[in-house]
Protein backbone atom coordinates (compact mmCIF):
# COMPACT_ATOMS: atom_id res chain seq x y z
CA UNK A 1 0.00 0.00 0.00
CA UNK A 2 1.33 3.42 -0.97
CA UNK A 3 0.11 5.56 1.93
CA UNK A 4 0.69 9.31 1.80
CA UNK A 5 1.20 11.78 4.68
CA UNK A 6 -1.71 12.87 6.85
CA UNK A 7 -3.75 15.77 5.39
CA UNK A 8 -2.19 15.22 1.96
CA UNK A 9 -3.76 17.37 -0.74
CA UNK A 10 -5.71 15.42 -3.36
CA UNK A 11 -7.22 17.51 -6.13
CA UNK A 12 -6.73 19.10 -9.51
CA UNK A 13 -5.71 22.35 -11.13
CA UNK A 14 -7.14 24.56 -13.83
CA UNK A 15 -7.32 28.28 -14.66
CA UNK A 16 -9.79 31.09 -15.23
CA UNK A 17 -9.17 31.59 -18.98
CA UNK A 18 -9.41 27.85 -19.66
CA UNK A 19 -12.69 27.23 -17.84
CA UNK A 20 -14.75 30.32 -17.09
CA UNK A 21 -16.09 31.34 -20.50
CA UNK A 22 -17.96 34.69 -20.54
CA UNK A 23 -14.66 35.98 -21.89
CA UNK A 24 -15.94 39.35 -23.11
CA UNK A 25 -19.00 39.88 -20.93
CA UNK A 26 -20.08 40.79 -17.38
CA UNK A 27 -17.45 43.51 -17.28
CA UNK A 28 -14.41 41.54 -18.44
CA UNK A 29 -12.17 43.13 -21.05
CA UNK A 30 -10.00 41.40 -23.63
CA UNK A 31 -6.86 39.45 -22.87
CA UNK A 32 -4.16 38.66 -25.40
CA UNK A 33 -6.03 35.41 -26.13
CA UNK A 34 -9.29 37.18 -26.93
CA UNK A 35 -7.44 39.59 -29.20
CA UNK A 36 -5.33 36.93 -30.95
CA UNK A 37 -8.36 34.74 -31.62
CA UNK A 38 -10.20 37.71 -33.08
CA UNK A 39 -7.25 38.50 -35.35
CA UNK A 40 -6.18 34.98 -36.37
CA UNK A 41 -8.78 32.32 -35.52
CA UNK A 42 -7.16 29.94 -38.01
CA UNK A 43 -4.25 29.44 -35.59
CA UNK A 44 -6.56 27.78 -33.04
CA UNK A 45 -7.42 24.10 -33.32
CA UNK A 46 -10.86 23.73 -34.95
CA UNK A 47 -11.06 27.53 -34.58
CA UNK A 48 -12.23 27.12 -30.98
CA UNK A 49 -11.41 30.25 -29.00
CA UNK A 50 -11.50 31.38 -25.37
CA UNK A 51 -15.27 31.93 -25.34
CA UNK A 52 -15.83 28.20 -25.96
CA UNK A 53 -14.79 26.71 -22.66
CA UNK A 54 -16.42 24.49 -20.06
CA UNK A 55 -18.48 27.55 -19.00
CA UNK A 56 -17.65 27.37 -15.33
CA UNK A 57 -18.94 30.92 -14.94
CA UNK A 58 -22.47 29.54 -15.06
CA UNK A 59 -21.80 25.95 -13.88
CA UNK A 60 -19.54 26.50 -10.88
CA UNK A 61 -22.03 25.43 -8.19
CA UNK A 62 -22.69 22.03 -9.76
CA UNK A 63 -19.00 21.64 -10.62
CA UNK A 64 -17.96 22.21 -7.01
CA UNK A 65 -20.26 19.35 -6.04
CA UNK A 66 -18.59 17.22 -8.70
CA UNK A 67 -15.20 17.98 -7.14
CA UNK A 68 -16.45 16.59 -3.85
CA UNK A 69 -17.93 13.55 -5.58
CA UNK A 70 -14.50 12.41 -6.76
CA UNK A 71 -12.72 13.04 -3.48
CA UNK A 72 -11.09 16.43 -3.83
CA UNK A 73 -9.93 18.11 -0.63
CA UNK A 74 -8.14 20.92 -2.49
CA UNK A 75 -8.40 22.64 -5.85
CA UNK A 76 -6.36 25.27 -7.71
CA UNK A 77 -7.71 27.79 -10.15
CA UNK A 78 -6.96 31.41 -11.00
CA UNK A 79 -8.50 34.86 -11.03
CA UNK A 80 -8.79 36.71 -14.33
CA UNK A 81 -6.91 40.01 -14.06
CA UNK A 82 -8.97 41.44 -16.96
CA UNK A 83 -12.20 40.46 -15.20
CA UNK A 84 -11.33 41.83 -11.76
CA UNK A 85 -9.73 45.06 -13.01
CA UNK A 86 -10.99 45.61 -16.58
CA UNK A 87 -8.86 48.73 -17.07
CA UNK A 88 -6.19 47.89 -14.51
CA UNK A 89 -7.54 50.37 -11.96
CA UNK A 90 -11.33 50.07 -11.62
CA UNK A 91 -12.78 47.19 -9.62
CA UNK A 92 -15.49 45.21 -11.42
CA UNK A 93 -18.24 44.50 -8.82
CA UNK A 94 -19.66 41.66 -10.90
CA UNK A 95 -16.26 39.94 -10.82
CA UNK A 96 -15.98 40.38 -7.06
CA UNK A 97 -19.44 38.87 -6.56
CA UNK A 98 -18.69 35.95 -8.90
CA UNK A 99 -15.37 35.02 -7.33
CA UNK A 100 -16.67 35.33 -3.78
CA UNK A 101 -19.61 33.06 -4.57
CA UNK A 102 -17.31 30.63 -6.39
CA UNK A 103 -14.82 30.42 -3.54
CA UNK A 104 -17.63 30.05 -1.00
CA UNK A 105 -19.07 27.20 -3.06
CA UNK A 106 -15.68 25.46 -2.96
CA UNK A 107 -15.57 25.86 0.83
CA UNK A 108 -19.10 24.47 1.19
CA UNK A 109 -17.79 21.18 -0.17
CA UNK A 110 -14.93 21.18 2.40
CA UNK A 111 -12.37 21.77 -0.32
CA UNK A 112 -9.36 24.05 0.14
CA UNK A 113 -9.16 26.68 -2.63
CA UNK A 114 -5.67 27.50 -3.90
CA UNK A 115 -5.89 30.69 -5.93
CA UNK A 116 -3.39 31.76 -8.55
CA UNK A 117 -3.10 35.31 -9.91
CA UNK A 118 -1.71 34.91 -13.44
CA UNK A 119 -2.10 32.00 -15.85
CA UNK A 120 -0.87 33.34 -19.22
CA UNK A 121 -3.84 35.74 -19.54
CA UNK A 122 -2.24 39.16 -20.03
CA UNK A 123 -4.86 41.95 -20.18
CA UNK A 124 -4.84 43.59 -23.58
CA UNK A 125 -4.73 47.09 -22.08
CA UNK A 126 -1.33 46.23 -20.57
CA UNK A 127 -0.13 44.34 -23.64
CA UNK A 128 -0.68 47.52 -25.67
CA UNK A 129 1.84 49.19 -23.36
CA UNK A 130 4.39 46.42 -23.89
CA UNK A 131 3.14 43.69 -21.55
CA UNK A 132 5.90 42.09 -19.47
CA UNK A 133 8.49 43.88 -21.61
CA UNK A 134 7.42 47.15 -19.97
CA UNK A 135 8.74 48.06 -16.54
CA UNK A 136 5.32 49.40 -15.50
CA UNK A 137 3.97 45.82 -15.59
CA UNK A 138 5.67 45.24 -12.22
CA UNK A 139 3.65 47.85 -10.36
CA UNK A 140 0.51 47.03 -12.34
CA UNK A 141 0.73 43.41 -11.22
CA UNK A 142 1.48 44.45 -7.66
CA UNK A 143 -1.67 46.59 -7.59
CA UNK A 144 -3.76 43.77 -9.03
CA UNK A 145 -2.34 41.30 -6.50
CA UNK A 146 -3.06 43.59 -3.57
CA UNK A 147 -6.60 44.15 -4.84
CA UNK A 148 -7.21 40.40 -5.04
CA UNK A 149 -5.80 39.84 -1.54
CA UNK A 150 -8.06 42.54 -0.13
CA UNK A 151 -11.17 41.28 -1.95
CA UNK A 152 -10.81 37.57 -1.23
CA UNK A 153 -8.29 37.16 1.57
CA UNK A 154 -10.99 36.15 4.03
CA UNK A 155 -11.94 33.22 1.78
CA UNK A 156 -8.53 32.05 0.54
CA UNK A 157 -5.65 30.89 2.74
CA UNK A 158 -3.32 29.64 -0.02
CA UNK A 159 -2.27 31.89 -2.90
CA UNK A 160 0.20 31.68 -5.75
CA UNK A 161 1.50 34.50 -7.93
CA UNK A 162 2.21 32.87 -11.30
CA UNK A 163 1.57 29.60 -13.05
CA UNK A 164 4.56 28.45 -15.10
CA UNK A 165 6.06 31.90 -15.71
CA UNK A 166 8.74 30.36 -17.89
CA UNK A 167 6.01 29.38 -20.37
CA UNK A 168 4.78 32.86 -21.17
CA UNK A 169 8.44 33.84 -21.56
CA UNK A 170 9.45 31.16 -24.04
CA UNK A 171 6.10 30.67 -25.78
CA UNK A 172 5.52 34.41 -26.24
CA UNK A 173 9.07 35.50 -27.07
CA UNK A 174 10.89 32.47 -28.50
CA UNK A 175 8.60 29.84 -30.01
CA UNK A 176 5.42 31.55 -31.21
CA UNK A 177 2.80 29.66 -29.21
CA UNK A 178 1.56 32.68 -27.22
CA UNK A 179 0.88 36.25 -28.28
CA UNK A 180 2.83 38.38 -29.26
CA UNK A 181 4.70 35.44 -30.87
CA UNK A 182 8.02 37.28 -31.04
CA UNK A 183 11.33 35.48 -31.55
CA UNK A 184 13.89 37.50 -29.61
CA UNK A 185 16.11 35.92 -26.94
CA UNK A 186 17.05 39.24 -25.33
CA UNK A 187 13.40 40.34 -25.08
CA UNK A 188 12.57 36.96 -23.58
CA UNK A 189 15.15 37.53 -20.84
CA UNK A 190 13.73 40.98 -20.13
CA UNK A 191 10.21 39.57 -19.92
CA UNK A 192 11.40 36.89 -17.51
CA UNK A 193 13.19 39.45 -15.36
CA UNK A 194 10.16 41.73 -15.08
CA UNK A 195 8.03 38.67 -14.25
CA UNK A 196 10.38 37.83 -11.38
CA UNK A 197 10.11 41.37 -10.05
CA UNK A 198 6.32 41.32 -10.43
CA UNK A 199 6.23 38.10 -8.41
CA UNK A 200 8.29 39.72 -5.67
CA UNK A 201 6.06 42.81 -5.74
CA UNK A 202 3.00 40.60 -5.20
CA UNK A 203 4.65 38.72 -2.32
CA UNK A 204 5.59 42.05 -0.73
CA UNK A 205 1.92 43.14 -0.90
CA UNK A 206 0.79 39.77 0.46
CA UNK A 207 2.96 40.11 3.57
CA UNK A 208 1.27 43.43 4.32
CA UNK A 209 -2.32 42.40 3.62
CA UNK A 210 -2.43 38.72 4.66
CA UNK A 211 0.52 38.15 7.01
CA UNK A 212 -0.97 35.00 8.56
CA UNK A 213 -1.68 33.14 5.32
CA UNK A 214 0.51 31.33 2.77
CA UNK A 215 1.81 32.32 -0.65
CA UNK A 216 3.76 30.39 -3.26
CA UNK A 217 4.47 30.16 -6.97
CA UNK A 218 3.70 27.42 -9.50
CA UNK A 219 6.68 26.41 -11.67
CA UNK A 220 6.91 23.91 -14.52
CA UNK A 221 9.77 21.56 -13.88
CA UNK A 222 11.52 19.73 -16.73
CA UNK A 223 14.60 18.06 -15.25
CA UNK A 224 17.48 18.05 -17.72
CA UNK A 225 19.33 14.80 -18.40
CA UNK A 226 22.56 14.82 -20.38
CA UNK A 227 23.17 12.54 -23.36
CA UNK A 228 26.45 11.34 -21.89
CA UNK A 229 28.99 11.84 -19.12
CA UNK A 230 31.20 13.87 -21.46
CA UNK A 231 32.01 17.34 -20.18
CA UNK A 232 30.29 19.25 -23.00
CA UNK A 233 27.04 17.29 -22.60
CA UNK A 234 27.15 17.75 -18.83
CA UNK A 235 27.69 21.47 -19.29
CA UNK A 236 24.68 21.64 -21.61
CA UNK A 237 22.54 19.96 -18.93
CA UNK A 238 23.81 22.40 -16.28
CA UNK A 239 22.95 25.39 -18.47
CA UNK A 240 19.54 23.92 -19.27
CA UNK A 241 18.77 23.49 -15.57
CA UNK A 242 20.02 27.02 -14.91
CA UNK A 243 17.54 28.46 -17.39
CA UNK A 244 14.63 26.06 -17.02
CA UNK A 245 14.65 25.23 -13.31
CA UNK A 246 16.87 27.49 -11.24
CA UNK A 247 15.99 30.81 -12.95
CA UNK A 248 12.64 31.06 -11.12
CA UNK A 249 13.05 28.48 -8.36
CA UNK A 250 16.14 30.08 -6.78
CA UNK A 251 14.59 33.57 -6.45
CA UNK A 252 11.39 32.10 -4.99
CA UNK A 253 13.24 30.02 -2.38
CA UNK A 254 16.38 32.10 -1.71
CA UNK A 255 15.44 35.62 -2.85
CA UNK A 256 18.13 36.03 -5.52
CA UNK A 257 18.92 34.88 -9.05
CA UNK A 258 21.00 31.70 -9.25
CA UNK A 259 24.78 31.85 -9.26
CA UNK A 260 26.19 31.71 -12.76
CA UNK A 261 23.16 33.04 -14.59
CA UNK A 262 24.20 36.74 -14.74
CA UNK A 263 27.68 35.80 -16.00
CA UNK A 264 26.21 33.53 -18.67
CA UNK A 265 23.78 36.23 -19.81
CA UNK A 266 26.59 38.78 -19.92
CA UNK A 267 28.74 36.44 -22.00
CA UNK A 268 25.95 36.20 -24.58
CA UNK A 269 24.93 39.87 -24.48
CA UNK A 270 21.54 39.00 -22.97
CA UNK A 271 21.57 40.90 -19.67
CA UNK A 272 18.25 42.63 -18.95
CA UNK A 273 17.85 46.29 -18.05
CA UNK A 274 17.84 46.60 -14.26
CA UNK A 275 17.64 49.12 -11.42
CA UNK A 276 19.73 49.28 -8.26
CA UNK A 277 16.67 48.63 -6.10
CA UNK A 278 15.82 45.38 -7.88
CA UNK A 279 18.03 43.23 -5.66
CA UNK A 280 16.18 44.46 -2.57
CA UNK A 281 12.80 43.76 -4.18
CA UNK A 282 13.79 40.25 -5.30
CA UNK A 283 14.77 39.44 -1.72
CA UNK A 284 11.16 40.08 -0.69
CA UNK A 285 9.87 37.41 -3.08
CA UNK A 286 10.67 34.39 -0.89
CA UNK A 287 7.61 32.13 -0.68
CA UNK A 288 6.07 29.78 1.87
CA UNK A 289 5.64 26.85 -0.50
CA UNK A 290 6.31 25.80 -4.08
CA UNK A 291 4.03 24.14 -6.61
CA UNK A 292 5.78 22.09 -9.29
CA UNK A 293 4.08 21.04 -12.52
CA UNK A 294 5.70 17.93 -13.94
CA UNK A 295 4.83 16.30 -17.26
CA UNK A 296 8.07 15.29 -18.97
CA UNK A 297 11.87 15.51 -18.72
CA UNK A 298 14.28 17.37 -20.97
CA UNK A 299 17.05 15.39 -22.76
CA UNK A 300 19.97 17.55 -23.84
CA UNK A 301 23.37 17.42 -25.45
CA UNK A 302 26.03 19.90 -26.44
CA UNK A 303 24.98 22.02 -29.45
CA UNK A 304 26.82 21.06 -32.63
CA UNK A 305 27.23 24.51 -34.24
CA UNK A 306 26.12 27.13 -31.71
CA UNK A 307 25.85 30.83 -32.45
CA UNK A 308 28.04 33.11 -30.37
CA UNK A 309 26.47 35.08 -28.81
CA UNK A 310 23.46 32.78 -28.52
CA UNK A 311 20.42 33.65 -30.62
CA UNK A 312 18.20 30.94 -29.11
CA UNK A 313 18.40 28.55 -26.14
CA UNK A 314 19.35 25.79 -28.58
CA UNK A 315 22.70 27.54 -28.98
CA UNK A 316 23.36 26.70 -25.32
CA UNK A 317 21.87 23.23 -25.07
CA UNK A 318 20.47 21.07 -27.87
CA UNK A 319 17.69 18.52 -27.67
CA UNK A 320 18.70 14.87 -27.56
CA UNK A 321 16.39 12.11 -28.82
CA UNK A 322 16.83 9.37 -26.23
CA UNK A 323 16.27 6.05 -28.08
CA UNK A 324 14.73 4.33 -25.03
CA UNK A 325 12.03 6.93 -24.49
CA UNK A 326 8.33 6.17 -24.02
CA UNK A 327 6.17 8.79 -25.72
CA UNK A 328 2.63 10.04 -25.34
CA UNK A 329 1.97 10.20 -29.10
CA UNK A 330 -0.86 12.74 -28.76
CA UNK A 331 1.25 15.39 -27.07
CA UNK A 332 4.70 14.30 -28.19
CA UNK A 333 6.03 14.29 -24.64
CA UNK A 334 8.22 11.65 -23.07
CA UNK A 335 6.64 9.70 -20.21
CA UNK A 336 9.31 9.37 -17.53
CA UNK A 337 7.86 9.03 -14.01
CA UNK A 338 11.29 8.41 -12.48
CA UNK A 339 12.00 12.15 -12.79
CA UNK A 340 9.41 13.03 -10.17
CA UNK A 341 11.54 11.17 -7.63
CA UNK A 342 14.61 13.12 -8.76
CA UNK A 343 12.63 16.35 -8.34
CA UNK A 344 11.59 15.35 -4.81
CA UNK A 345 15.20 14.71 -3.82
CA UNK A 346 16.31 17.97 -5.46
CA UNK A 347 13.80 19.89 -3.37
CA UNK A 348 15.00 18.09 -0.24
CA UNK A 349 18.71 18.56 -0.81
CA UNK A 350 19.06 21.78 -2.81
CA UNK A 351 16.07 23.90 -1.77
CA UNK A 352 16.11 23.66 2.04
CA UNK A 353 13.33 21.06 1.89
CA UNK A 354 10.75 23.81 1.50
CA UNK A 355 7.16 22.53 1.54
CA UNK A 356 6.07 21.78 -2.02
CA UNK A 357 3.37 19.91 -3.90
CA UNK A 358 2.85 18.44 -7.34
CA UNK A 359 0.64 21.19 -8.69
CA UNK A 360 0.04 19.56 -12.09
CA UNK A 361 0.58 16.12 -13.55
CA UNK A 362 -1.49 14.42 -16.20
CA UNK A 363 -1.85 12.89 -19.62
CA UNK A 364 -3.59 14.46 -22.60
CA UNK A 365 -5.19 12.17 -25.18
CA UNK A 366 -6.92 13.06 -28.43
CA UNK A 367 -10.22 11.62 -29.68
CA UNK A 368 -11.17 10.27 -26.27
CA UNK A 369 -14.73 9.68 -27.44
CA UNK A 370 -13.33 6.40 -28.81
CA UNK A 371 -13.35 5.12 -25.24
CA UNK A 372 -16.84 6.33 -24.33
CA UNK A 373 -19.32 3.47 -23.75
CA UNK A 374 -22.63 3.59 -21.90
CA UNK A 375 -21.95 7.05 -20.46
CA UNK A 376 -18.55 6.05 -19.06
CA UNK A 377 -15.18 6.85 -20.56
CA UNK A 378 -12.54 4.19 -19.93
CA UNK A 379 -9.29 6.16 -19.58
CA UNK A 380 -7.24 3.41 -17.94
CA UNK A 381 -4.15 4.91 -19.60
CA UNK A 382 -4.57 8.02 -17.43
CA UNK A 383 -4.86 5.93 -14.27
CA UNK A 384 -1.66 4.07 -15.13
CA UNK A 385 0.13 7.35 -15.83
CA UNK A 386 -0.84 8.76 -12.43
CA UNK A 387 -0.11 5.53 -10.58
CA UNK A 388 3.46 5.31 -11.83
CA UNK A 389 4.14 8.96 -11.04
CA UNK A 390 2.59 8.70 -7.59
CA UNK A 391 4.69 5.62 -6.83
CA UNK A 392 7.90 7.52 -7.53
CA UNK A 393 6.59 10.54 -5.63
CA UNK A 394 5.86 8.28 -2.65
CA UNK A 395 9.45 7.04 -2.77
CA UNK A 396 10.73 10.63 -2.60
CA UNK A 397 8.42 11.46 0.31
CA UNK A 398 9.47 8.30 2.17
CA UNK A 399 13.07 9.52 1.85
CA UNK A 400 12.26 12.83 3.50
CA UNK A 401 11.10 15.22 0.77
CA UNK A 402 8.49 17.64 2.15
CA UNK A 403 5.78 17.12 -0.47
CA UNK A 404 2.28 17.77 0.84
CA UNK A 405 0.00 17.16 -2.14
CA UNK A 406 -0.79 15.98 -5.65
CA UNK A 407 -2.98 17.87 -8.12
CA UNK A 408 -3.84 16.39 -11.48
CA UNK A 409 -4.38 18.38 -14.63
CA UNK A 410 -7.33 18.71 -14.81
CA UNK A 411 -10.78 18.51 -13.20
CA UNK A 412 -13.02 18.90 -16.29
CA UNK A 413 -11.72 18.91 -19.87
CA UNK A 414 -10.68 22.49 -20.47
CA UNK A 415 -9.76 24.80 -23.31
CA UNK A 416 -6.04 24.73 -23.94
CA UNK A 417 -4.72 27.77 -25.82
CA UNK A 418 -3.90 27.09 -29.49
CA UNK A 419 -4.70 23.39 -28.98
CA UNK A 420 -8.24 24.16 -27.75
CA UNK A 421 -9.86 20.76 -27.02
CA UNK A 422 -7.56 18.67 -29.21
CA UNK A 423 -6.19 16.76 -26.21
CA UNK A 424 -8.38 16.00 -23.21
CA UNK A 425 -7.01 15.81 -19.65
CA UNK A 426 -10.00 15.92 -17.31
CA UNK A 427 -11.54 13.55 -14.78
CA UNK A 428 -14.81 14.61 -16.40
CA UNK A 429 -15.46 14.84 -20.12
CA UNK A 430 -17.29 17.96 -21.29
CA UNK A 431 -19.59 18.00 -24.32
CA UNK A 432 -19.03 21.41 -25.88
CA UNK A 433 -22.47 21.47 -27.49
CA UNK A 434 -24.54 20.52 -24.43
CA UNK A 435 -22.07 21.28 -21.61
CA UNK A 436 -22.88 17.84 -20.18
CA UNK A 437 -20.20 16.46 -17.85
CA UNK A 438 -19.44 12.73 -18.05
CA UNK A 439 -17.35 11.08 -15.34
CA UNK A 440 -14.33 9.15 -16.60
CA UNK A 441 -12.97 5.99 -15.03
CA UNK A 442 -9.98 7.98 -13.74
CA UNK A 443 -12.33 10.12 -11.64
CA UNK A 444 -13.75 7.04 -9.94
CA UNK A 445 -10.24 5.77 -9.29
CA UNK A 446 -9.11 9.14 -7.91
CA UNK A 447 -11.96 9.14 -5.41
CA UNK A 448 -10.73 5.80 -4.03
CA UNK A 449 -7.18 7.12 -3.80
CA UNK A 450 -8.32 10.19 -1.89
CA UNK A 451 -10.51 8.20 0.50
CA UNK A 452 -7.68 5.75 1.22
CA UNK A 453 -5.00 8.47 1.16
CA UNK A 454 -3.12 6.19 -1.21
CA UNK A 455 -3.46 3.10 -3.36
CA UNK A 456 -2.44 -0.53 -3.40
CA UNK A 457 0.57 -1.75 -5.31
CA UNK A 458 -0.40 -4.24 -8.00
Q: Identify the CA nearest to 201 among candidates 135, 258, 257, 130.
A: 135
Distances (CA, A) of 366 to 149, 274, 389, 421: 38, 44, 21, 8
Distances (CA, A) of 251 to 104, 147, 428: 33, 24, 36
Q: Which of 20, 164, 334, 368 is catalytic?
A: 164
pLDDT in the model for residue 74: 98
Helices (H), 162-277: 165-173, 185-209, 231-241, 247-254, 261-267
Rounded to a whole number of angstroms, the distance between the first and last alpha carbons of the chain is 9
**Distance between CA 8 and CA 39 in Å, rounded?**
44
Query: Strand 74-78 relative to strand 9-13: parallel, antiparallel, unpaired?
Result: parallel
Q: What is the mean pLDDT of each run of 10 residues along the chain (458 residues)?
A: 97 98 96 98 96 93 98 98 98 98 98 98 98 98 98 98 98 98 98 98 98 98 98 98 98 98 98 97 98 98 95 98 96 96 98 98 96 92 98 98 98 97 97 94 98 92
pLDDT in the model for residue 236: 98
pLDDT in the model for residue 375: 84
Q: Identify the CA nearest to 186 among candidates 32, 40, 307.
A: 307
Give the domains, in start order, of the chain with CATH numbers: 2-455 (3.20.20.80)
Name the DSSP class of 370.
G
Name residue 439's beta-bridge partners.
428
pLDDT in the model for residue 52: 81
Q: Report CA torsion sign: 280, 120, 167, 440.
A: positive
**Distance between CA 110 and CA 112 in Å, rounded?**
7
**Distance between CA 308 and CA 97 in Å, rounded?**
53
Q: Do the Cβ atoms of 352 and 249 come closer than 8 Å?
A: no
**Distance between CA 238 and CA 248 in Å, rounded?**
15
164 is catalytic: yes
Query: 3-state DSSP call for residue 77?
Result: strand
Distances (CA, A) of 360 to 15, 162, 178, 194, 295: 12, 14, 20, 25, 8
**Distance between CA 274 and CA 190 in Å, rounded?**
9
Distances (CA, A) of 16 to 60, 75, 261, 345, 372: 12, 13, 33, 32, 27
Q: At what angle do helices 185-209 and 247-254 cross, to 10 degrees?
A: 20
Cβ atoms within 10 Å, residue 435: 14
399 is catalytic: no
Instruction: For Cα atoms 311, 316, 321, give the angle at the middle one, nearest 5 degrees.
Output: 115
Q: Which of 20, 170, 360, 368 is catalytic?
A: 360
Q: Do the Cβ atoms of 187 and 173 come closer than 8 Å?
A: yes
pLDDT in the model for residue 374: 84
Distances (CA, A) of 158 to 108, 206, 276, 289: 17, 11, 31, 9
Amino acid sequence: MYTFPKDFWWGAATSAPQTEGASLSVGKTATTWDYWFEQQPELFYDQVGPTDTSMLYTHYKEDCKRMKEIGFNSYRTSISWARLLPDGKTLNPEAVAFYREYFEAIHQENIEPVINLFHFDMPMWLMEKGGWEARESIDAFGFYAQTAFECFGDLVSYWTTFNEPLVHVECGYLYGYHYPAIVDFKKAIQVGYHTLLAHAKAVEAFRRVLPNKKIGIILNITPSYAKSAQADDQKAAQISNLFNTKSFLDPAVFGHVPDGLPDLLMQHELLPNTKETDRELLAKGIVDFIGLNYYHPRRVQAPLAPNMPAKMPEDLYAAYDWPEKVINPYRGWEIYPEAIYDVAIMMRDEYRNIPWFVSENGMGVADEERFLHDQELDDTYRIEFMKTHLAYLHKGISEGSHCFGYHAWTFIDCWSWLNAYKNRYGFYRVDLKTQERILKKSGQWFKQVSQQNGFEEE
